[in-house]
Chain A
């Protein structure tokens, strides 16, 4: 039982927005960015067992045992009050899974699944688990037909991708901004590694989708969109570009000061990209 384990924030056995078809999605806890616009900020931090969430739990599902948070999923009624009080954007309800657990889940839902997506948080921070999971899926007779995708911010170095890409079928990569200063402001990190990752993944033929979040007045400027066009043209091919619209659902107070992105604004940006010769632009089907 030396199977690698992962800290998992959430698992979905039905998802139609995390890659092609219906997918099993494993959201891993913890992120190396700290995006102002993050719509599930409780996946960013990692629990330090401070215990602040224990009194907030009305269902007595949380306790401190020997200095560590213990979570009882049987009494939890998913009110998420613990997330609201966590001072470090962590999640006391995380569960530990090993590769075998996920394989079992995939087997149970096999006929309904097109593939498996590992998302987050930032999934590449638990690289060993992801590689082991994808290897195991590909080695399993019943599961080998499932394609293995990653939803990443691209902040992983080349050697990390070297170990991951051979067992990965597709990557959905977010570029938060093409202006390094804006990127640092938005995420706390430089954009260089993300841009490098996009090129490297594309060269490996595995860049399924490049995602760009439109925030009014922040990332929807002509300069940003031109940056996106130039990058895509430089990349070559007809990689699918997914424009996402910034929404207020789930974000932290600071981001609530920003305007929501309207459908009209997204359509305008999409039209600009298409006119500039980017053929494959996808826009959201639903606006909250």
Chain B
């Protein structure tokens, strides 16, 4: 108890944190003084050993990890609870969204999904000039970054080319803010080359947007649709994810006797324990927290039945290399056909296991597989199925080695490709790489242009200059800088080309 109190005091007195950041860390510490949802011994042991992981979501899940409201509900009906009439003008529409965001919880306390913005705003743009639209979006963008400064906050645009989407791209490249993160849904049949070319130029400018393979995602979900949130999690719209748990494949491989033993016994064993952990957290959220009695459900922004469970995995590269060592084979993951094939086989086994295991209070009664991008304190465990930092081959070889994994990860998989800054003279190359990646089966396309100040660290955006400032004890206005600085120190991600480890949750306050 004495230690816990000291930690609370350290948070309260930390000169590098803003009052709001302190309040959040204090609340996390308080939540974690409560007892954890009840787990059997085997599951508890695996969690304690961090073979399986709850992403430090907290001991009392009183809100889903990710909430993806269908904002068209409040745009069409207004909200009785929030005493909002349905908006009629563009100003009213943007104002309604600005209010709505403050009532959408997530694991970070900030909204991770701010909507399919072009679709939401287009109906209000008739008679609005391009210049007026630009001015209003610019102010909206500034508001988002300054009041909800979290790079996990994610806006979606596309797949149709339209003037709101184009204006957002124009503003985003101009302002180069960390927040919001941005995904362009791209459909080769529907989007056209022009908006993809704009996206390519934007990436060269500020490493955003991230581009999603819309036909593949649309196929994995239903008519109500999907959204891309946080760092590349793909989830049901008007729902979300109750929780994200993950399996450290390297730790599983280390506990296996052989490659055959890994597939026959060790992997199924730990997958089952992770299912149990997932179910325990979901039971608390649904049966005890009262979350689904709130106005978001009553007014139809979200539907209780549309919350999935994200089943994450990471450290595929290390797992494969451990198995290669056990079998006396030298080939390394990402470079050797045999090693790559083991990786693909693991992904296939994971997908089958997730499909076969029934869970209560989960959309479609089973979890969705997710290639998890990492936590800022993961050491010697490469995010998801990525190739270890600093050893990646060129982007084309990189895509070709990893593409066979993508079919299995319905809830998202991100590979972050590093491209040197020569591409700023040739953004067309980014467009071509994107087309190549999608033709090869990639679900998502994300690029870091080396030496941009704004770069992706573990899936979210940070400014390198902010990290330097934070290290100099000046504090940062944006929450993700803290994570970025931690990730940079723990994992050495900035030693090499500006690249990404990948991930997302704040594991809480670190001393």
Identity of the chain B residue whose Cβ is nearest the Cβ of A15 in the assembled complex: B429
Distance A286 CA – B423 CA, assembled complex (angstroms): 10
Those of A187-219 within 8 Å (CB) of chain B:
none
Q: How far is the CB of B223 from chain A (nearest CB, A)?
A: 30
Pick the contact of B429 from A22, A111, A286 — CB < 8 Å?
A: A22
Q: Is there contact, CB below 8 Å, between B396 and A285?
A: no
Q: Which of A14, A20, A284 has the most CB of B within 10 A?
A: A14
Judged by a CB distance under 8 angstroms, whether A109 is at the interface is: yes
A13 an interface residue at 8 Å Cβ cutoff?
Answer: yes
Which residues from 390 to 432 on chain B have a C-beta closer than 8 Å to any C-beta of chain A? 394-397, 399, 419-426, 428-429, 431-432
The residues of B that contact A113 with a CB separation of less than 8 Å are 432, 436
Bound-complex Cα distance A11 to B256 (A): 42
Least distance between A212 CB and chain B CB atoms (Å): 15
B395 touches A20 (CB 8 A): no
A114 to B, closest residue via Cβ: B432
What is the CB-to-nearest-CB distance from A250 to chain B, in angstroms, rounded to a whole number? Answer: 16
Q: Per a CB cutoff under 8 Å, which of B397, B425, B439 touches A285?
A: B425
Cβ of B24 within 8 Å of any chain A Cβ, yes or no, is: no
Interface secondary structure of B, over-half rule: helix
Proximity string of chain B (423-467) to chain A, C-beta cutoff 8 Å, 1 when within and 0 when not: 111101101110111011000000000000000000000000000
Min Cβ gap A26→B in Å is: 16
Q: Which residue among B399, B419, B420, B429 has the maximum number of chain A CB atoms within 10 Å of its CB?
A: B429
Q: State the Cβ distance, B234 to closest chain A Cβ, in Å.
A: 22
Q: Which residues of A contact B423 (CB under 8 A)?
A: 16, 285
Residues in B whose Cβ lies below 8 Å from that of A22? 396, 429, 432-433, 436
Q: A285-B424, A286-B420 are in contact. Are A21 and B431 (CB under 8 A)?
A: yes
State how many residues of chain A have any CB contact under 8 Å with chain B: 16
With A22-B436, A112-B433, A286-B420 as known contacts, state yes or no: A13 contacts B396, CB within 8 Å: yes
> Interface 1/0s, chain A 252-288, versus B by CB < 8 A?
0000000000000000000000000000001011100
Q: Given known contacts A21-B426, A111-B440, A112-B436, is B421 in contact with A285 (CB within 8 Å)?
A: yes
B436 touches A282 (CB 8 A): no
Cα distance A22–B396 in the bound complex, in angstroms: 10
Residues from chain B with a CB closer than 8 A to the CB of A111 are 435-436, 439-440
A109 cross-chain contacts in B, Cβ below 8 A: 396, 436
Distance between B199 CB and nearest chain A CB, rounded to angstroms: 15
- In A111-141, the 8 Å CB interface with B consists of 111-114
How many B residues touch the partner, as a band? 20 to 34
Q: Is A79 an interface residue (CB 8 A)?
A: no
Q: Is the CB of B425 within 8 A of A112?
A: no
Interfacial residues of chain A within 80-132, with CB under 8 A of chain B in the complex: 109, 111-114
B384 to chain A, nearest CB (A): 22
Complex Cα spacing A286 to B425, Å: 10
Report Cα–Cα, A114/B429, bound state, in Å: 8
Contact of A14 among B396, B431, B435, B440 (CB under 8 A): B396
Inter-chain contacts of B431 with A (CB < 8 A): 21
Interface string of A2-22 (1 = CB under 8 A from B): 000000000001101100111
| CB-nearest residue of chain B to A23 | B429
Cross-chain contact of A21 among B421, B429, B440 (Cβ < 8 A): B429
Whole-angstrom distance between the alpha carbons of A47 and B399 in the complex? 36
| Chain A residues within an 8 Å CB radius of B432 | 21-22, 112-114
Q: Once bound together, how far apart are the Cα atoms of A112 and B399, in whole Å?
A: 10
Decide yes or no: A286 and B433 within 8 Å by CB, A111-B440, A114-B428 being known contacts. no
Measured between C-beta atoms, what is the minimum distance from B197 to chain A in Å? 11
Establish whether residues A282 and B425, one from each chain, have CB atoms under 8 Å apart when the complex forms. Answer: yes
Q: Are B422 and A285 in contact (CB under 8 A)?
A: yes
Task: Supply 5 further A-B pairs (C-beta < 8 A) apart from A112-B399, A112-B433, A286-B420.
Answer: A22-B396, A111-B439, A112-B396, A112-B436, A286-B421
Report A's interface with B, CB cutoff 8 A: 13-14, 16-17, 20-22, 109, 111-114, 282, 284-286
16 A/B residue pairs, CB under 8 Å, sorted by A: A13-B394, A13-B397, A14-B397, A16-B419, A16-B423, A17-B425, A20-B426, A21-B432, A22-B433, A22-B436, A111-B435, A111-B436, A112-B399, A114-B428, A284-B422, A285-B422
